[in-house]
Structure 1
């Protein structure tokens, strides 16, 4: 048996509004007056725990839609912004100590990345952080929340699961429904009324708790002799 930790990407491992503002820049020509300024104001409000937005991408999309930008145009703007992910046009910051954190957790658990984002740019970012090989499985365009359910269900067949993300509805609710543990990070961690196993501003802040979970989960699920974790690459 093997414990599994399922990570979200944007807002969880990758922090900062660089990619969000790249999306806004791509949508701006189609939006109304002072659109970028309104996005920045709403992002500041979101970071402070207000505004009612799901995340920064929701800020960009909601304000553009209110300006009459159609869904297809927004989808195109998002795709173009992801093509430059991890470049100076869409800079991405990593959680502090990400390589050490993943290396430590990987001693006890299988590490899975599951994101709604397309693959474009993500491997570039993971490579720049030197952590691409830390993950045993990577899933893109998952279609959360529904698309996360089979990933969590399959992992639970091998042992305990901890899902980590910044949007409860998308990243954690499917895990809760299946009985897995959860860690909520990001701007909503301090204000969300949802019941989660642990919560904190960043994974770095939660590192002791996550490491304790992984060590405990590993000790409670001894691997059968001769067995090895299933890898999905």
Structure 2
């Protein structure tokens, strides 16, 4: 029996609006005048924790759709932006000391990367960060939220699970429903829209929750294999 930690990628491990802006630049080719400015204004609101959108990709896609950009055009723009992931056209950053964090967590838990994004570009980024091989499993185009339910249910058969992500509906709610623990990260983690969500821990970034996550892994590894209960936990 071994605990598992499930990491989202965009907005959780990978931070910064580089890929989102790459997506927006392509979408702007067919959007209405002023589209780029509207995207930037909404991204600023998101960073301030004041946006109702799920994330930057939701902002880009929703505003473009409002301008009449067709779904197939948006899908092509998204795919092109993912092709550039981790390059100067779509730069991303991660938490300082990620390799050390994953190394420590891997002593106690199975580490799983689970993202709705395609594999394109992600392995390149993980290799650049030196952490690709820290994950026991890497799952792409998972189809969250439903796909996360199946994954977490399987992992819970082996021990406690902690799901970490920035979009509650996709990354955490399916895990909560199964009794897993959860960590909400990102600019909107402390926002009113998530105030009643009974996550185990929440913070503005993965780095802000490092101590809590390490404690969870060590405790889960030494305790009963039954899933740990959720609670309001800590906030940073």
TM-score norm. by structure 2 comes to 0.93
Residue by residue, what CA displacement relative to the aligned partner does 1:157-212 show, whole Å, maximum 9, x if unpaired?
00000000000000000000000000000011111221100000111110000000
Aligned equivalents of 1:134 and 1:106: distance in 2?
A: 7
What residue number does 1:219 align with?
Answer: 222
What is the DSSP-based 3-state SS (H/G/I as helix, E as strand, rest coil) of the residue aligned with 1:14?
coil
Residue by residue, what CA displacement relative to the aligned partner does 1:71-102 show, whole Å, maximum 9, x if unpaired?
11111100010001000000010112111111
Over aligned residues, Cα RMSD in angstroms? 0.8
What residue number does 2:84 align with?
Answer: 84
What residue number does 1:225 align with?
Answer: none
Aligned equivalents of 1:221 and 1:177: distance in 2?
A: 20
Aligned equivalents of 1:115 and 1:102: distance in 2?
A: 17
The runs of 5 or more residues in structure 2 that have no matched partner are 226-236
The alignment status of 1:30 with 2:33, answered yes or no, reads no
TM superposition shift of 1:141: 0.4
What residue number does 2:96 align with?
Answer: 96
What is the DSSP-based 3-state SS (H/G/I as helix, E as strand, rest coil) of the residue aligned with 2:29?
helix
What residue number does 1:140 align with?
Answer: 140
Equivalent pairs counted in the alignment come to: 222
TM superposition shift of 1:128: 0.3
What residue number does 1:229 align with?
Answer: none
Aligned equivalents of 2:224 and 2:85: distance in 1?
A: 38
Structure 1 residue ranges, 4+ long, deviating more than 4 angstroms after superposition: none
The runs of 5 or more residues in structure 1 that have no matched partner are 223-233
The alignment status of 1:118 with 2:98, answered yes or no, reads no
Aligned equivalents of 1:27 and 1:12: distance in 2?
A: 24
Contact 1:2 1:221 in 2 (8 A): no
TM superposition shift of 1:221: 4.6
What residue number does 1:12 align with?
Answer: 12
Match for residue 212 of structure 2 among 201, 209, 212 = 209
The alignment status of 1:178 with 2:181, answered yes or no, reads no
